[in-house]
Structure 1
């Protein structure tokens, strides 16, 4: 694992002391005040051309703010225990929040323009027509908008509200140490041991996790209770119908589409996770599985450490096999410091791809340990990165893809890599790869929908009052037993494992986007395998659209419709087919 790449931030700023940061902040402060003076109280009276110019100026400020906060945030995630980086991010957050207070009026006044007049204005100016998709998403919040004073208050207090609790969670998680056989390990390294070939070592790691989670459970419960209550208060004031509603609005997806996905996956639990884990128990020679066996490698698995160069070439070859343009878009991530791969003290756990701003480039974070799952994670995050590069041509406000489609390229990249690895494999090698892919898909679909149900139950219960740690633990276990199936036994202490999942803290109800993306990609890949004419061109056009089109419009060229309840069964049948093949290998 020597010589793993690390980020080069020069596309953003030369360093924390770069004078351009101060210069950009000064420009922002002045431009925000000029913008407010030019437009506050006047948007509804502006001509279409004037409104188009207004939106372009607003987008210009969003770009500079995004550059500053991307730089501060990425440096912080490299080492969340570094007090200097934490202070810098907090200071930048404070400054940007103060500056952007002058911009709060923009969305409020845009939403107060009558629908008839808005439609007329959009029809009169090409600039407004181009921005209509993002304006439509903004105006979807129109029924739930508060007074100008309250909206400004919520904006200003955010740095000492949810953002502060998020930061407390991140810094606590990054500072945790787990004692595994006398060795002090980070969260990421300890979680990695849950897929160790040695069952005793997996069990030891599980108990190490439980011990630390139990110790910090009061804090994690307090963070979760506070954020859920904070959300409930704001939702109540806005008169949002459900805790999930704000996420659905942000994702530009209809609630019934998400519920159709959720119901289809839950109904498929017996055919997917229950059936697969019963099969896995048999392979491991176990009558019942413990939680530390869920991600255990099969006895036939290739457990060698995969070097960085091999991982890189595997993914690039898979991308190139689909279309050379995909590999060309991915190549600079490896050669220009766009990936931060090593596991380091204080580094945030997990992986992500951050788009930053459209006139820079995305940054991919990994915690690479050389496992096959890490190779698939690389393929996943590079998919995001390629998607973000292609969508950048839409501009700052239209490039951002709703979460429901944001996972499309990432999961498709995983599928391409899996299919490439599967080529020519027979016998136990094929079986091991199929099993690994099924596990990844179960983690992406079944586990994430179980996470979504956990959040739904948690937020509903929190509306009835404060939740004790035992209350939250019980909610967690109710969805775990249902989703994993009867073959599992749950060791005392596993009920605390909800506490380390960052999505529950940072992005409530984000998790269904993974299942949405997997189901969508399974259906897309079936179209690709059927030899759909010009599939690559349609695929690139879909990615290039960014957030400029609704999911229905983007999927139409492929003959797919996510609002059709049967759509999700198509995606789930792909997973079921792989399990069928694994069962057939037993005969």
Structure 2
């Protein structure tokens, strides 16, 4: 079975006639959008016609642009040395900046109307009415400056925060550090070092962790400059636009309210002792007399399995597991494998991570992972296919109607991973149950405890950055405080290196602040849904599909209501966390047999 993907439905190369033709067409559409915004959006006469024309033009541009950018991103993702792909991404982002200026003008034009006037426009025809949610979101966006100011920001960010972000990403991707393991010297990247946290050899894990700390320390000053620049610009721009804080902006764009966030955070804080019990028990299993050293936070527990799962076996296991939920989901998974939407081959020059890129214009997705035959690899495949399935549920929608908020983004993926973990536990031998269960808890701790620490760190980062740039020492102090608050006494405090803010790329991504709590939301929301699925007699699969289809055109709280969930209630989050608590007790009990 071929473990590489097929990109021919997109393009054969950057030089292909199809790519060049689409690039030219996208540039023309972007120019036309700019002209339309400049010359036509100054009157409310024929407002319905102007609205439909702009929507059609913008959707047309996004349809072509997403194909072009997805191709460049896919080529780059499997070989970071592809400078042509990186250059194409830069050029395409420049093109997109022009289209975003036009969209900002369109948004300001809508904001000048009353709600009744917009209702009239929405009722003027079928095409416009399909975009009712999107248009109301644009009109209600009070956080836009004048067209001229937004244009200036979009242009200056290319050489401002985005330039600092690119510098950081390049620094991270080229950083190498020497480390001695098993009597041999190695020069490894940060990605390669992080992958060793799952190694069965204690000395390898410790050496890799210490090397990572050394590497982070070596670029701490440069990273601090990048972080201060990105965060400082975010604070300034969001304040000008009228947001109370970067967190306020993230909640708005996530279609989530503060009440929901506070309910979830309250439940997470209450659940920390259960996770601390898990980490302390893991320390005991690994032979530590006291708290768990941080370099062993992801250490595997139990004997290394000699059983390897072949790629065809992984396919059949996933299809069977998905079929147990719904035949439609199973058929979709089989289609993903047969149509070669996955690049699963492990090879040099390719990142060792899982990622799904949705290509909505052609109603396809592409998945990148490195399959080595472990149980963990099967779960990663199921997770990424879940992302692709979510996208497939949005088929037929226009380009502006396919964007779902980050808190909902992990719902289908984690749910699908849960289906397969259930299958793995049922089929695993007695000796294999503990490693699979521990891996699930390790992931849960990562998304709940570690991301809670990241949320605390980022909250304090923005609060302190308002008073000026932070030194390396100040950033280290904030990180230590956040880690201590999240992990408590379950982790050896002397084993936590303070430079972890250097290696977390999410802090440096312009316009993507607080890439932490939305993922905690996704995990817990999926856990709650999975509990419902296990209790229900039938009809859940159809309701779940309808929920995914509606997720791009609804608020988070309203999406929850579609599944009978009140996300503003701490009780829902407590119930979801209780499921993880039950797994912790099962883990403790199983390991003591």
State TM-score, norm by structure 1.
0.93
Once residues 407 and 166 of structure 2 are traced to their aligned partners in structure 1, the CA distance between those partners, rounded to angstroms, is 26
Once residues 343 and 228 of structure 1 are traced to their aligned partners in structure 2, the CA distance between those partners, rounded to angstroms, is 36
Once residues 382 and 244 of structure 1 are traced to their aligned partners in structure 2, the CA distance between those partners, rounded to angstroms, is 30
Once residues 424 and 205 of structure 1 are traced to their aligned partners in structure 2, the CA distance between those partners, rounded to angstroms, is 33
The answer to whether 1:358 aligns with 2:356 is no
Once residues 34 and 431 of structure 1 are traced to their aligned partners in structure 2, the CA distance between those partners, rounded to angstroms, is 59
In the alignment, is the contact (CA less than 8 A) between 1:32 and 1:100 conserved in 2?
no
In the alignment, is the contact (CA less than 8 A) between 1:43 and 1:51 conserved in 2?
no
Once residues 106 and 303 of structure 1 are traced to their aligned partners in structure 2, the CA distance between those partners, rounded to angstroms, is 59
Cross-structure match for 2:528: 523
Once residues 431 and 299 of structure 1 are traced to their aligned partners in structure 2, the CA distance between those partners, rounded to angstroms, is 7
The answer to whether 1:27 aligns with 2:25 is yes
Q: 2:438 aligns with which of 435, 458, 478?
A: 435
Q: 1:276 aligns with which of 250, 275, 278?
A: 278
Compared with structure 1, are the counterparts of its residues 279 and 312 closer, same or farther at alpha carbon in structure 2 (3 Å cutoff)? same
Once residues 391 and 433 of structure 1 are traced to their aligned partners in structure 2, the CA distance between those partners, rounded to angstroms, is 32
CA positional deviation for 1:432: 3.2
The answer to whether 1:137 aligns with 2:142 is no
Compared with structure 1, are the counterparts of its residues 511 and 557 closer, same or farther at alpha carbon in structure 2 (3 Å cutoff)? same
The answer to whether 1:322 aligns with 2:302 is no
The answer to whether 1:110 aligns with 2:115 is no
Compared with structure 1, are the counterparts of its residues 204 and 125 closer, same or farther at alpha carbon in structure 2 (3 Å cutoff)? same
Cross-structure match for 2:149: 150
The answer to whether 1:312 aligns with 2:315 is yes
Give RMSD over aligned pairs.
Answer: 2.4
In the alignment, is the contact (CA less than 8 A) between 2:363 and 2:395 conserved in 1?
no
In structure 2, the residue corresponding to 1:244 is in which secondary structure? helix
Cross-structure match for 1:230: 233
In the alignment, is the contact (CA less than 8 A) between 2:266 and 2:570 conserved in 1?
no
CA positional deviation for 1:36: 4.5
Cross-structure match for 1:564: 569
Compared with structure 1, are the counterparts of its residues 164 and 316 closer, same or farther at alpha carbon in structure 2 (3 Å cutoff)? farther
CA positional deviation for 1:99: 5.8
Once residues 303 and 25 of structure 2 are traced to their aligned partners in structure 1, the CA distance between those partners, rounded to angstroms, is 60
In the alignment, is the contact (CA less than 8 A) between 1:448 and 1:515 conserved in 2?
yes
Cross-structure match for 1:84: 84
The answer to whether 1:199 aligns with 2:198 is no
Once residues 207 and 306 of structure 2 are traced to their aligned partners in structure 1, the CA distance between those partners, rounded to angstroms, is 19
Compared with structure 1, are the counterparts of its residues 424 and 444 closer, same or farther at alpha carbon in structure 2 (3 Å cutoff)? same
What runs of 5+ residues in structure 2 fail to find an aligned partner? none
In structure 2, the residue corresponding to 1:400 is in which secondary structure? coil
What runs of 5+ residues in structure 1 fail to find an aligned partner? none
Compared with structure 1, are the counterparts of its residues 345 and 496 closer, same or farther at alpha carbon in structure 2 (3 Å cutoff)? farther
Compared with structure 1, are the counterparts of its residues 74 and 200 closer, same or farther at alpha carbon in structure 2 (3 Å cutoff)? same
Once residues 449 and 4 of structure 1 are traced to their aligned partners in structure 2, the CA distance between those partners, rounded to angstroms, is 40
Cross-structure match for 1:340: 343
The answer to whether 1:258 aligns with 2:261 is yes
Once residues 484 and 371 of structure 1 are traced to their aligned partners in structure 2, the CA distance between those partners, rounded to angstroms, is 29
In the alignment, is the contact (CA less than 8 A) between 1:358 and 1:393 conserved in 2?
no
CA positional deviation for 1:425: 5.3
Cross-structure match for 2:490: 487
Once residues 410 and 118 of structure 1 are traced to their aligned partners in structure 2, the CA distance between those partners, rounded to angstroms, is 36
Cross-structure match for 1:162: 161
In the alignment, is the contact (CA less than 8 A) between 2:301 and 2:434 conserved in 1?
no
Cross-structure match for 1:243: 246
CA positional deviation for 1:546: 4.0
Cross-structure match for 2:393: 390
Once residues 50 and 151 of structure 2 are traced to their aligned partners in structure 1, the CA distance between those partners, rounded to angstroms, is 25
CA positional deviation for 1:85: 2.7
CA offsets per residue over residues 226-264 of structure 1, 9 Å max, x none? 110110110111120121122111111112211221221
Once residues 391 and 254 of structure 1 are traced to their aligned partners in structure 2, the CA distance between those partners, rounded to angstroms, is 24
Cross-structure match for 2:448: 445
In structure 2, the residue corresponding to 1:16 is in which secondary structure? coil
In the alignment, is the contact (CA less than 8 A) between 1:394 and 1:544 conserved in 2?
no
CA positional deviation for 1:561: 1.5
Once residues 104 and 480 of structure 2 are traced to their aligned partners in structure 1, the CA distance between those partners, rounded to angstroms, is 41
- Match runs of 1:495-574 below 5 Å: 495-506=498-509, 507-574=512-579
